[in-house]
Amino acid sequence: MTVAVFGSINTDVNAYLDRLPKPGETLHGSGYKIGLGGKGANQAVAVRKLGSDVKFVCRIGPDIFGDTAINEIASYGVTTDLVLRDPNGSTGLALINVGADGENAISLIGGSNMTLDETDVARSKTALENAKILLLQMEVPFAASLAAARVAKAGGATVILDPAPAPKKPYPREVYDAVDVLTPNELETGSLVGWQPQNKEEGLKAAAELNAMGVKIAIVKLGAKGVCVRGLSWEGFIPPFKVTPIDTVAAGDSFNGGLAYALEQDMPLQQAVRFAAACGALSTTKKGAAAAAPLFSEVEKLLRA
Ligand code: RIB
């Protein structure tokens, strides 16, 4: 049994600045980093760095960014046989400004990510059917993700959807029927319930509203304010881990990778969300996206501190 990830892969170009630039402004930065990104790839690498096998379904283009991206995911041990090289496509690209406080602003060119469709579900059917956990995000066409969710669920998988980037309007009920766990941050929660939670009490209230809409396990990520959970087996709050963030890019992806790993290992929900929160926190202490995901030993250390 493995974790399957159906989603995006990008080349990230990160610029490190004292603060984010204003419209029309040119700012000198202190440095840059080019590396593997995309919410799907980041989640796949996060799971793999913790120790589980990962099947990653994605599309890249016939360009140098695609060469680099596929080499980088392979270097982490993520299986690449379901990475499709689209001869007419272009590898996804993210231009990311990171401020001194670790906050970021991302411009995304989806490229080949935006061409995923039912043929990708068909070519990855065996991997989806055999997955114990399926991870989904919102950087590829949603119809394809939903089809992947249905195949994986029919095979018995737990389906985790990270609604990032935020959907423009609430999901219809059929989405929640195909998904087991939803992991929005404050902004994404706002898109789904109509208001943005600002603290623990509001996070729990928003999670309850998501349950009422049909979400089986609602995990509302409040970043440095902690995580609010309402599920069938447990509801409660996981306080934030105290770390010094330098780059928050992909913290949510590390969280979801950690959650998938923990659930694949049969951790109970409360323990799994605490494990995931530690993964998310640790990823903010390193630069980059996929590269910043923690190793299992680093997570264990933080959980014991
Ligand atoms: O979640 C972070 C990711 O969002 C980055 O790696 C970037 O590629 C964008 O997809």
Q: Model confidence over 44-97: pLDDT tens digits?
A: 999 999 999 999 999 999 999 999 999 999 999 999 999 999 999 999 999 999
Q: What is the position in ligand 1's atom list of the atom closest to the CA of 42? A: 6
Q: Is the CB of 188 under 6 A from ligand 1?
A: no
Residues with a known catalytic role: 253
CA 261 to chain CA centroid, Å, is 13
- Banded pLDDT at 101 (limits 50, 70, 90): confident
Residue closest by Cα to atom 2 of ligand 1:
250
C-alpha 139 to ligand 1 mean position (Å): 9
Q: Is the pLDDT of residue 141 over 90?
A: yes
pLDDT of residue 215: 97
> What is the average pLDDT across 146-165?
97
Q: Average model confidence (pLDDT) for the chain?
A: 96
pTM of the model: 0.96
- Ligand 1 midpoint to CA 106 (Å): 8
pLDDT of residue 65: 96
Q: Alpha-carbon torsion 34, 40, 45, 47, what sign? A: positive
Please tell me whether residue 250 adopts helix, strand or coil conformation. coil
Residue 232 has pLDDT above 90, yes or no: no
Across the beta sheet with 2-6, what order do the strands follow?
83-85, 54-60, 2-6, 131-136, 158-161, 181-182, 217-221, 227-230, 235-238
Specify whether the CB–CB gap between 12 and 249 falls below 8 A: yes
Residue whose Cα lies nearest atom 8 of ligand 1: it is 38
With the most atoms of ligand 1 within 8 angstroms of its CB, the residue from 135, 187, 253, 279 to mutate is 253
Q: Alpha-carbon distance 46 to 32, whole Å?
A: 22
| pLDDT at 146 exceeding the cut of 80 | yes
By most ligand atoms within 8 Å of CB, the mutation choice from 5, 11, 33, 42 for ligand 1 is: 42
